[in-house]
A and B are shown apart, each in its own frame.
Chain A
Amino acid sequence: MIWVENVLVSRGEGGVYGEHMLKEFRVWDPYRSKLAAYYYLGGVFELTPDLVVLYLGAANGTTVSHVADYAGTVYAVEFAPRPMQDLIAVARRRDNVVPLMADASRPDRYATLLEMADLIYQDIAQPEQVTIAIRNLMFLRDGGRMLIMLKTRSIDTAEEPGVVLEHSVAALEAARVNVLDTKWLNPYHKDHAAILCVPARD
């Protein structure tokens, strides 16, 4: 990852969403992007130019644009029409972004368009977030990683975030996915946790 004077940045064409520029770099704000927060808090998963990323829950393409600056190809899945309009605009200016208008909980609907991914990144506000992530593991290459941004409040509003995380980790382990690391995204994002995991080998 590129840091300029302790500020996380990415190298690419600016002016995507009004982000600040630092020299020729685009500043990646941890308060806006959960992935940026993950790196500020010592996240270890490096984005490299050879990676194929499957991005579930691409929204307006803010974080997608930074991921695309680092990674090789980004398959960005988003379902809602409004953010999709913004995402298309982002994708038009970055030729390694493939926008997919599809429901991440129905991988069969977009399976024929994807290639195998080295990283599955998921940031969706759904109660069954973890189940959806597991369902998408079929697209993960051997040795690939999955990074889940867990929105504990979308999963269960009444439960303690810590308990929700425990349940989610248990659900992953039950699906034979090894959790490598979990990280709370405080103070950047309240009640959000990053889970880095890898499917167990047979």
Chain B
Amino acid sequence: MQSYWFGDIDEHGCTPYRGGPKALAKRLETIKISPEHFVPFDWRVAEKCGYMPDHKEYIRKLRDLCFYLAEVGITRQYESRDAELLQMVRTLDQLDEVSNVLTERALEWHRINNPGFSRKYMRLPRQKLLPMMKRGGSQAFRQIINEIENLASARTSLMKEVSRRADEVVPNCSALLGGLVAARLVSQAGSLQTLSRLPGSSIQVLGARTALFSHMRGGTPPPKHGIIFQHRRVHNAPKEVRGKVARVLAAKLAIAARLDQYRQEPAPEFIEAAQAAIDKAGRVI
């Protein structure tokens, strides 16, 4: 017997399925086919099934079903728990870019009106630099600085939210990496599902695309770390063991991502053992 979206066909003829898109979609889920035994069909088979007078009507019914399926599919994809985290962390990184560009420009502007301004002021933390620049600027200038300060405060609250959400969505990766970097890792991979299917060696160099490809094309040294460099145990590690720390951390992250994807809860024993392994890799003998 062969099952198609509109009905079943066997030697006795056709058993049609009637009903709206929802009912048809539900039945479709129960059909399992194997490519070796499947017989693709001509729409005329459906015509014989009785309730589709012509190709136009056939396509109309099929389209109703497919629109329904596609919309359900889209909703399901967007519902996955990491979809919003992804947008949040990308917004965060873009906020940084925007506020840096604006600050640089405002500094150049500020310089023009303040001959005494020099490099040493650039080293001031931004919270001090911005209010200082505001004094004596024109109204529009002050307004811009205010906006930069607003962006900074929006960034702070978004960052807290990203960390919190990452602890929920990827608890094991967050425990190893910290929420923010874990979220960036998911964002770079594209989704938690993709991340959970990557080997440790790929996770290690996620985000080091340029270096990786220049290595593959031109034989430059391979990158030791991508995004995970942002984690303190990697960038604080002494140079000679940094690659090792990155490798061990990435290997543990590969396991953590799978736990996050399929178990969806923290695994304390694993985290403890993984932390110990990573710390051990960082020790210089």
Within 8 Å by CB of A135, from B35, B41, B67, lies: B35
With a cutoff of 8 Å between Cβ atoms, the chain A residues found around residue B73 in the complex are 81, 84, 101
In the docked arrangement, what's the CA distance between A202 and B232, Å? 63
Within residues 28 to 50 of chain B, which ones have a CB less than 8 A from any CB in chain A? Answer: 28, 31, 33-35, 38, 40-43
Number of interface residues of B (CB under 8 A): 31
With a cutoff of 8 Å between Cβ atoms, the chain B residues found around residue A97 in the complex are 63
Within 8 Å by CB of B216, from A96, A101, A112, A158, lies: A158
Number of interface residues of A (CB under 8 A): 28
CB of B5, distance to nearest CB on chain A (Å): 5
- Check A99 against B67 for contact (C-beta < 8 Å): yes
Whether a CB of chain A sits under 8 angstroms from the CB of B60 is: yes
Whether a CB of chain A sits under 8 angstroms from the CB of B71 is: yes
A95 and B63 contact, Cβ closer than 8 Å, known pairs A84-B74, A101-B74: yes
A91 and B63 contact, Cβ closer than 8 Å, known pairs A85-B74, A157-B216: yes
Whether a CB of chain B sits under 8 angstroms from the CB of A128 is: no
> Which of A6-14, A23-31, A38-46, A113-121 lies at the binding interface?
A113-121
Query: How many pairs of residues, A versus B, come closer than 8 Å at their CB atoms?
Result: 76
In the docked arrangement, what's the CA distance between A84 and B66, Å? 12
CB of A177, distance to nearest CB on chain B (Å): 17
Whether a CB of chain A sits under 8 angstroms from the CB of B208 is: no
Within residues 101 to 126 of chain A, which ones have a CB less than 8 A from any CB in chain B? Answer: 101, 107-108, 111-116
Whether a CB of chain A sits under 8 angstroms from the CB of B106 is: no
- Check B67 against A116 for contact (C-beta < 8 Å): no
- Check A96 against B66 for contact (C-beta < 8 Å): no
Within residues 151 to 196 of chain A, which ones have a CB less than 8 A from any CB in chain B? Answer: 157-158
In the docked arrangement, what's the CA distance between A104 and B73, Å? 15
- Check B40 against A138 for contact (C-beta < 8 Å): yes
Interface residue ranges, A against B (CB under 8 Å): 73, 81, 84-85, 87-88, 91-92, 95-101, 107-108, 111-116, 135, 138-139, 157-158
- CB pairs A–B below 8 angstroms (22 shown): A87-B70, A88-B71, A92-B67, A95-B59, A95-B63, A97-B63, A98-B62, A101-B74, A107-B35, A108-B34, A108-B38, A112-B33, A113-B28, A113-B66, A114-B40, A115-B41, A116-B40, A116-B41, A116-B42, A138-B38, A138-B40, A157-B213
Q: Top 7 A-B pairs ranked by shortest CB distance?
A: A101-B73, A81-B77, A101-B70, A158-B216, A81-B74, A115-B43, A112-B4
Interface residue ranges, B against A (CB under 8 Å): 3-5, 28, 31, 33-35, 38, 40-43, 55, 59-60, 62-63, 65-67, 69-71, 73-74, 77-78, 213, 216-217
